[in-house]
Amino acid sequence: MERNLPRVRTEAGSDKEERLAALFDSCYPRVARYVYARTGDRTDAEDIAAETFLRALESVDRYQERGLPMEAWLFRIAHNLVVDHLRRAGRFERADEHEELQTSDNPVHIAEERILMTDVRDAMERLTQDQKNVLSLRFFAGLSSKETAAALQKSDGAVREMQRAALERLRGLLR
């Protein structure tokens, strides 16, 4: 999932553009994982992740430092694009059982991963939309609770409470 970020130079945003370009290699896979967790489709995940960086590049001049990393801003853009995508598609989640993110070449491990992911997706369907967003950003995208809070425009405490409640609910559903 390697992409090249287009380079557009403006006087006002060149420093921000440099920071955004530096984040591309480390953040693109995380953004794609987050989108994949929300959509269940690898092609959509790659397209939306690429669109996230394109939108960020187009609006980098308007980005304002607010004490949070630029990553939180990127994930806010990705979150908004996912919400728009899911609304257009008329669904909130889609589990594509045949296109999983595989972490092994061993067929037994792949089968076990698919079964586990199916169980997790089924259980996540029973969470609130906010809980799904928090878990996706925290665990699939790897954001901190503070970064997740910024991406979702919630307080850090609210994110931690949603995460606690969601994990508690998932534990109960997966037993």
The boundaries of the domain holding residue 165 are 14-94+101-174
Tell me, yes or no, whether 9 lies in a domain: no
pLDDT value for 104: 57
pLDDT value for 47: 94
pLDDT value for 103: 55
pLDDT value for 105: 66
Contact between residue 18 and residue 63 where contact means Cβ atoms under 8 Å apart: no
Tell me, yes or no, whether 89 lies in a domain: yes
Tell me, yes or no, whether 144 lies in a domain: yes
**Rounded distance, CA 172 to CA 153, Å?**
28
Which CATH number belongs to the domain containing residue 167 in this structure? Answer: 1.20.140.160
Number of domains in the chain: 1
Tell me, yes or no, whether 5 lies in a domain: no
**pTM (predicted TM-score):** 0.64
Tell me, yes or no, whether 1 lies in a domain: no
pLDDT string in tens for the chain (175-residue length)? 444 444 444 444 567 778 778 888 888 999 998 898 888 888 999 999 999 999 988 888 887 777 777 888 889 999 999 989 988 887 544 434 334 445 556 777 777 777 777 777 788 888 898 998 899 899 888 888 999 998 899 999 999 999 999 999 989 988 8
Tell me, yes or no, whether 8 lies in a domain: no
